């Protein structure tokens, strides 16, 4: 599969051959779903917490005698049945992460790349090199190229000037090739990969 290579100035910079084993697959929703769930579960903080009856601030004194009141027997006001008492079996801090085989994660990334290529939303960029870190200049170039919600994947390292300029542009994310992931690829309309990013991704996924 061949793709045109463009520059930030909307010019053409030749063609590049895309590996069909990475960009030519038939996307499977079940694999993409599994990988996205795995990513979001790992990102979940899991810091939700409630107080049990041993942690609430009421006194532990017995509220009334055990027998003879005609009411239920209670030990103290910290019981879950009372207002401001402890919570029974409430959430506690924990990790929501779960395991997913490395082969499935790798396959998920390949299917996400193939999905963007199949939809015609994959753009190959010659380079992200910029002489100056000018947000206005990059924003103008992104508008001219039609990048409204785009993810830019660069090589092993992102161009410093490009990363600074893109930092204040809503809807434009920049990642090094090692940070390429299924969730970020799918949540943006356009996927932009540099030549260096393509080489790094192909080396990573082969």
What's the pTM value of the predicted model, to 2 decimals? 0.83
Could you report the per-residue pLDDT of 121-174, keeping only the tens digit for each? 999 999 999 989 999 999 999 999 999 999 999 999 898 999 999 998 999 999
Is residue 193 helix, strand or coil?
A: strand
Q: How confident is the model at residue 193 (pLDDT cuts 50, 70, 90)?
A: very high
Residues 73 and 146 in one domain: no
For residue 60, give every residue at least 6 positions away whose Cβ sits within 8 Å of its Cβ, in sequence order, or none: 75, 76, 78
Q: Are residues 162 and 78 in the same domain?
A: no
Question: Each residue of 58-68: pLDDT tens digit?
Answer: 888 999 999 99
Do 83 and 118 belong together in one domain?
no
Q: C-alpha angle with apex 18: 13 to 21, nearest 5 degrees?
A: 170
Residue 153 dihedral angles phi and psi, to the nearest 5°: -110, 120
Pairing label, strands 12-17, 2-6: antiparallel
Does 55 have pLDDT greater than 90? Answer: yes
The per-residue pLDDT for 13 is 83
Domain identity same for 80 and 128: no
Give the total residue count for the chain: 206
As for how many domains the chain has, the answer is 2
Same domain, 55 and 116: no
Same domain, 56 and 32: no
* Same structural domain, 22 and 113: yes
Closest CA to 159 of 144, 175, 183: 175
Are residues 143 and 80 both part of a single domain? no
What end-to-end distance do the CA atoms of the chain give, in Å? Answer: 17
The pLDDT of residue 206 is 83
Q: Quick one: which of 192, 188, 194 has its CA closest to 149?
A: 188
Which residue is associated with the tokens 């910079």? Answer: 13
- Give the span between the Cα atoms of 1 and 20, in whole angstroms: 6
**Percentage above 90 pLDDT, the chain:** 84
Q: Check whether residue 109 and residue 201 sit in a common domain.
A: yes
Q: Which residues span the domain enclosing 132?
A: 2-45+98-205
- Going by their DSSP bridges, the two strands 172-175 and 190-194 should be labelled as unpaired
CATH number at residue 130: 3.40.1370.10
pLDDT at residue 176 is higher than 90: yes
pLDDT at 1: 81
The overall longest dimension of the chain from CA atoms, in Å, is 93
pLDDT above 70 as % of the chain: 100
Same domain, 114 and 150: yes
171-182 average pLDDT score: 94
Q: Where are the alpha helices (DSSP H) in the chain?
A: 20-23, 29-43, 102-118, 135-145, 160-166, 182-187, 195-205
């Amino acid at each position: 599969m061949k793709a045109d290579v463009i520059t930030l100035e909307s010019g053409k910079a030749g063609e590049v051959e895309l590996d069909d084993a990475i960009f030519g697959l038939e996307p499977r929703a079940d694999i993409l779903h599994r990988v996205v769930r795995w990513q979001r579960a790992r990102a979940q903080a899991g810091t939700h917490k409630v107080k049990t009856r041993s942690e609430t601030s009421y006194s532990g004194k017995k509220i009334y005698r055990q027998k003879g009141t005609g009411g239920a027997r209670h030990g103290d006001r910290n019981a879950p049945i009372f207002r401001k008492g402890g919570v029974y079996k409430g959430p506690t801090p924990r990790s929501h992460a779960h395991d997913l085989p490395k082969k499935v994660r790798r396959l998920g990334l390949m299917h996400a790349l193939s999905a963007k290529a199949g939809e015609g939303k994959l753009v190959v960029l010659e380079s992200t090199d910029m002489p100056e870190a000018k947000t206005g200049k990059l924003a103008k170039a992104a508008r001219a190229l039609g990048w409204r919600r785009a993810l830019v994947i660069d090589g092993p390292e992102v161009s410093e000037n490009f990363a600074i300029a893109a930092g204040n542009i809503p809807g434009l994310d920049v990642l090094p090739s090692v940070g390429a992931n299924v969730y970020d690829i799918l949540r943006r309309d356009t996927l932009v990969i540099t030549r260096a990013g393509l080489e790094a991704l192909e080396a990573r996924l082969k």
